[in-house]
Structure 1
Amino acid sequence: MKKFFIIISLLCFHNYICVAQTQSNDNSNKAEDVTVAYMTKELNLTPDESKKFWPVYNNYFKEIREAKSHFGNDEVAFEERKVQIRKKYQGQFRSVLNSDKRVNKVFVSEKNLRDLFRKEWQDRQRRKKFPGAKAQRGVIRQRRVN
């Protein structure tokens, strides 16, 4: 039953992400909304925890983004800096979430969400490249035209 609930939730998030885009500002807000909903659900945040968690997470994410822009194509240096940032914020997350398990879940959920966003972006690129194509089981297939 738990797997069923997770699959249904992911499908809802997928549909939310697939909503037609209007403006680039709206898109970033939608991505933020999906991030908030996904992480809140994955971490089972209470309203009180949520008030404390999101400022810490936003600062963490800002530092990760700055590190990525600073190191550019030097992937090894970026990964080292990312580990330093995670260690720095690990204690702050622990004080909000009260559990090492939930702190680890922050990083795992973040990676899973990033993978979902990447997959959605790839699907959109394929649909843009092949407008008559229909996605089936992760593979784009051309529709037959009679």
Structure 2
Amino acid sequence: MAQAQKYKETPEEKKARLEKIENAKIAFITEKLSLTPEQAQRFWPIYNEYNTKRYELKRKLRSLREENLNNQSNEQVKASLETRLSYRQRELDLDNEYMDRYLRVISPKQLALLYRSEREFTKLLLERLQTSSRR
């Protein structure tokens, strides 16, 4: 039986796809939060900065999870666990810092809507990916 080759996305195609998703996310959140033009101008740089920092922390945390436990002593594993907790605390500290910064630009209700909208967008995206993979 012949197997279908998987389509390999070029770097340019991947970049275009990610930009399309990011633009859709921006439009989705802007609409859900009912951002005024003035709010949007101040909000998006803060949001992008926060996401960059959050991504970096998550990347470091992910690399810790991928360590091979079989080749480590109990002390090394314990140190790794403590490092993970440290990164998770840094994530919480980042959330607190940026909550304060967001609240200088948007209302508490809009901030709550931001968190909800991010989850909704992710859910929508996953649903669309599932639907397209069934075709």
TM-score interval (norm. to shorter): 0.5 to 0.7
The reply to whether residue 84 of structure 1 matches residue 93 of structure 2 is yes
Of Structure 1 and Structure 2, which has the larger fraction of its residues in strand?
1
> Cα–Cα, structure 1 residues 84 and 117, in superposed 2: closer, same or farther, change >3 Å?
farther
- Give the drift of 1:47: 0.7
Give the TM-score of the pair, scaled to structure 1: 0.63
Aligned residue for 1:45? Answer: 35
Match of 1:95 in 2: 104
Change (3 A) 1:79 1:121: farther
CA RMSD of aligned residues (A): 2.1
Q: 1:117 to 1:100 in 2, by over 3 A?
A: same
The count of aligned residue pairs is 104
- Larger Rg computed on CA atoms: 2
Please give the secondary structure, in 2, of the residue aligned with 1:45.
coil
TM-score by length of 2: 0.68
Output the CA distance in 1 between the equivalents of 2:134 and 2:58.
26
Unaligned ranges ≥5, structure 2: 1-11, 67-83
Cα distance in 2 for partners of 1:52, 1:82 equals 22
1:28-47 alpha-carbon deviations (Å, 9 max, x no partner): 11011101100100110011
Higher helix share: 2
Higher RCO (C-alpha 8 Å, min separation 6): 2
Quote the sequence identity (%): 26
Quick one: distance in 2 between partners of 1:88 and 1:117? 28
